[in-house]
Amino acid sequence: MPSPRSISRSSADVAISTVAEATFTSVQQKRTLRPRRVKVVPGPLAQEDETRTPSIPNSRRKTAPKREAESTPGSNTEDEEDSEGSAAPSRRTKPKKRNASQIEVDQASYSSEDPPKRKRKIRAPKPEPVYVIPDVERKETTFHGRLGYACLNTVLRNKRPASEATFCSRTCRIDSIKKNGLDWVKDLGRQNVQDMLQLIEWNEQNNIRFMRISSEMFPFASHETYGYSLTYCASLLAEVGALAKKYGHRLTTHPGQFTQLGSPREAVVRASIRELEYHCQMLDLMGIGPDGVMIIHGGGVYGDKAATLQRIKKTIQEDLPKGVRDRLVLENDELCYNAADLLPLCTELSVPLVFDYHHDNINPSPGLPPASIIEQANKIFAARGIKPKQHLSEPREGAVSVMERRAHADRCQSLPNDLPDDMDLMIEAKDKEQAVLHLYRMYNLHPVIYCLLPKSKLKKLKDVNQRGSPSPRKRMET
Ligand SMILES: [Zn+2]
Kindly give the distance from the C-alpha atom of residue 162 to the centroid of ligand 1, in angstroms, as a whole number: 30
What is the side-by-side strand order in the sheet with 353-354? Answer: 294-297, 328-331, 353-354
Kindly give the distance from the C-alpha atom of residue 171 to the centroid of ligand 1, in angstroms, as a whole number: 23
Kindly give the distance from the C-alpha atom of residue 377 to the centroid of ligand 1, in angstroms, as a whole number: 14
Q: Mean pLDDT per 10-residue run, the chain (478 residues)? A: 39 37 37 38 34 36 36 32 33 45 42 54 64 79 96 89 90 93 96 97 97 96 96 98 98 95 97 97 98 97 97 98 98 96 98 97 95 96 97 87 83 92 95 93 92 59 40 31
Q: E strands, 325-441, where?
A: 328-331, 353-354, 389-392, 424-427
Kindly give the distance from the C-alpha atom of residue 238 to the centroid of ligand 1, in angstroms, as a whole number: 27
Kindly give the distance from the C-alpha atom of residue 362 to the centroid of ligand 1, in angstroms, as a whole number: 12
Kindly give the distance from the C-alpha atom of residue 429 to the centroid of ligand 1, in angstroms, as a whole number: 10
Kindly give the distance from the C-alpha atom of residue 291 to the centroid of ligand 1, in angstroms, as a whole number: 17
Kindly give the distance from the C-alpha atom of residue 124 to the centroid of ligand 1, in angstroms, as a whole number: 52
Kindly give the distance from the C-alpha atom of residue 287 to the centroid of ligand 1, in angstroms, as a whole number: 25
Report the pLDDT value the prediction gives residue 401, as an integer from 0 to 100.
80
Report the pLDDT value the prediction gives residue 454, as an integer from 0 to 100.
67
Report the pLDDT value the prediction gives residue 116, as an integer from 0 to 100.
56
Cβ(423)–Cβ(387) below 8 Å? yes
Kindly give the distance from the C-alpha atom of residue 356 to the centroid of ligand 1, in angstroms, as a whole number: 5
Report the pLDDT value the prediction gives residue 437, as an integer from 0 to 100.
94
Kindly give the distance from the C-alpha atom of residue 275 to the centroid of ligand 1, in angstroms, as a whole number: 18
- 54-63 b/e with 16+ CB inside 10 Å = b? eebeeebbbb
d(CA 415, CA 27): 77
Sign of CA dihedral 447, 451, 457, 460: positive
Cβ(430)–Cβ(408) below 8 Å? yes
Report the pLDDT value the prediction gives residue 132, as an integer from 0 to 100.
62
Report the pLDDT value the prediction gives residue 182, as an integer from 0 to 100.
94
d(CA 456, CA 458): 5
Report the pLDDT value the prediction gives residue 444, as an integer from 0 to 100.
94
Kindly give the distance from the C-alpha atom of residue 391 to the centroid of ligand 1, in angstroms, as a whole number: 5
Report the pLDDT value the prediction gives residue 402, as an integer from 0 to 100.
78
Cβ(144)–Cβ(422) below 8 Å? yes
State pTM to two decimals. 0.69
Kindly give the distance from the C-alpha atom of residue 224 to the centroid of ligand 1, in angstroms, as a whole number: 27
* pLDDT tens-digit series, residues 413-439: 999 998 999 999 999 999 999 999 999
Kindly give the distance from the C-alpha atom of residue 354 to the centroid of ligand 1, in angstroms, as a whole number: 8
d(CA 228, CA 278): 9
Kindly give the distance from the C-alpha atom of residue 333 to the centroid of ligand 1, in angstroms, as a whole number: 7
Kindly give the distance from the C-alpha atom of residue 331 to the centroid of ligand 1, in angstroms, as a whole number: 7
Kindly give the distance from the C-alpha atom of residue 266 to the centroid of ligand 1, in angstroms, as a whole number: 26
Kindly give the distance from the C-alpha atom of residue 60 to the centroid of ligand 1, in angstroms, as a whole number: 72
Kindly give the distance from the C-alpha atom of residue 16 to the centroid of ligand 1, in angstroms, as a whole number: 67
Report the pLDDT value the prediction gives residue 277, as an integer from 0 to 100.
98
Report the pLDDT value the prediction gives residue 126, as an integer from 0 to 100.
65
Cβ(176)–Cβ(215) below 8 Å? no
Kindly give the distance from the C-alpha atom of residue 414 to the centroid of ligand 1, in angstroms, as a whole number: 17
Q: Residue 346: which residues within 8 A CB-CB, separation 6 or more?
A: 330, 352, 353, 377, 380
Kindly give the distance from the C-alpha atom of residue 24 to the centroid of ligand 1, in angstroms, as a whole number: 76
d(CA 151, CA 428): 10
Kindly give the distance from the C-alpha atom of residue 358 to the centroid of ligand 1, in angstroms, as a whole number: 8
Kindly give the distance from the C-alpha atom of residue 381 to the centroid of ligand 1, in angstroms, as a whole number: 17
